[in-house]
Structures are given as structure tokens and as C-alpha cells.
Amino acid sequence: MKLAADPAASLRSARMKLPPYPMIDLDLGAPLDRHRATVQKEWIDWNGHMNVGYYVVAFDKATDVLCEQFGCSWDYTRLKIGMTFVLEAHVTYDREVKEGDPFRITTQILDHDAKRIHYMHLMYHGSEGYLAATNELMLMNIDYESRRAAPWPEWAMPRIEKMAAAHAKLPRPVQAGRLIGIKRK
């Protein structure tokens, strides 16, 4: 793998041809199914199950796993090249998980463009297999210096496109695009 010679030469992510750090092998599994964790004691609320805020923490860790796939994770920000911001998020809580429960999170890219990725995380109980929660998000690439939207780096876009093509074969999750509201008769 070739690396950029000098990351300081251009801090604008859109102008960089190569990342200044090694990339992991691209996982074209559909959906992306790499994140595993366990419900921590400090994540439990007074109802005896995982608190709503910690679902978002768990889903955020799965977003890190997604961003690693196309080279825009921690090193991308640490080296002041760019960063990613979540623009919008929607969580559904389908079934509770409790302290010590293992879980896995799958990720499906639903859509993308030059600056954004629309994707969905699904959290499953790690041993019983039931759907516990979902998280639908819109992620945007941000230039580090300007803190404004910027196109994905040249090295990232082909990876995003390959993942999106693999994920396009999956059925769209029923929770995708849901609106919150009270249904009236």
C-alpha cells in the first residue's frame, strides 16, 4: 500500500490522493458484521436494562468500525485531515438488553453521495439473536481546517461505493425512514 508522503502538505481531505496511514482490508460482507461488545454495568438504568443513551454510545462504536473500512476513522482526525459529523440520527428500541448481555451490531449503507453516507445499524442480542435496537444515521465528511462539508477523500470513495453496491442487494430495514408520532384513527 502506498502512503501519502507528507500529511501536512495538504490538510484538505478532498485533495489527498492517498492516506498517510495504512488501510485495513475492505470487508464487503453484506451487511458489515464486525462490531461485538457486552452491556456494561455502568450502562444500566433504574429499570434494570441498558439506558437509552448507551445504545447511542454502542452504535457510535459501530460507526467507528464502518469508518475504518474507508479510511476515515481516528487517524483521519488525529492527523488533522478531516473528520465525520453525524447530521441526523433516529433510534428504535425493540427489545431490552441487560447487564452482561453480549451484542453484535451490523451496518448497512442505504445511500451515499460525494459528502454523505446514509446508513443503518441493527443491534442483535449476541447469544439469543433477537433484534434489540436500530440506529439510522446520516454521516457527513468534514474538512478539518474549515469545519465545513467536503467530498470524501479519493481513497475513501471507491471503498464506500463498493460497500454500498454490496449492501444494495440487501432488503431495506423496515425501520429505515420511520417517522416518530402518535398514530390517530
The dihedral sign for the CA sequence 110, 162, 107, 11: negative
Cβ–Cβ < 8 Å for 73, 22: no
pLDDT at 4 over 90: no
Query: Is 40 inside any structural domain?
Result: yes
DSSP type of residue 51? -
Cell numbers standing for residue 45: 438504568
Cell numbers standing for residue 5: 508522503
pLDDT at 5 over 90: no
Residue whose grid cell is 427489545? 95
The average pLDDT across 1-13 equals: 48
Cβ–Cβ < 8 Å for 50, 43: yes
Query: Is 181 inside any structural domain?
Result: no
Query: Is 101 inside any structural domain?
Result: yes
Is the backbone peptide bond immediately before 31 cis, with ω within 30 degrees of 0? Answer: yes
> 19: burial class by Cβ within 10 Å (0-12, 13-18, 19+)?
buried
pLDDT at 11 over 50: no
Task: Give the residues across from 91 on adjacent strands.
Answer: 135
Query: Is 22 inside any structural domain?
Result: no
Q: What is the pLDDT at residue 10?
A: 42
Tens-digit pLDDT profile for residues 87-129:
999 999 999 999 999 999 999 999 999 999 999 999 999 999 9
Query: Is 125 inside any structural domain?
Result: yes
Query: Is 67 inside any structural domain?
Result: yes
Tens-digit pLDDT profile for residues 24-79:
999 999 999 999 999 999 999 999 999 999 999 999 999 999 999 999 999 999 99
Range of the domain at 133: 27-167
Tens-digit pLDDT profile for residues 127-184:
999 999 999 999 999 999 999 999 999 999 999 999 999 999 999 999 999 999 898 9
pLDDT at 86 over 90: yes
Query: Is 18 inside any structural domain?
Result: no
Residue 81, domain CATH: 3.10.129.10
Query: Is 3 inside any structural domain?
Result: no
Give the pairing type, strands 116-125 and 131-143: antiparallel
Q: What is the pLDDT at residue 8?
A: 47
Q: Give the Cβ contact number of residue 171 at 10 Å.
A: 7
**What domain count does the chain have?**
1
pTM of the model: 0.91
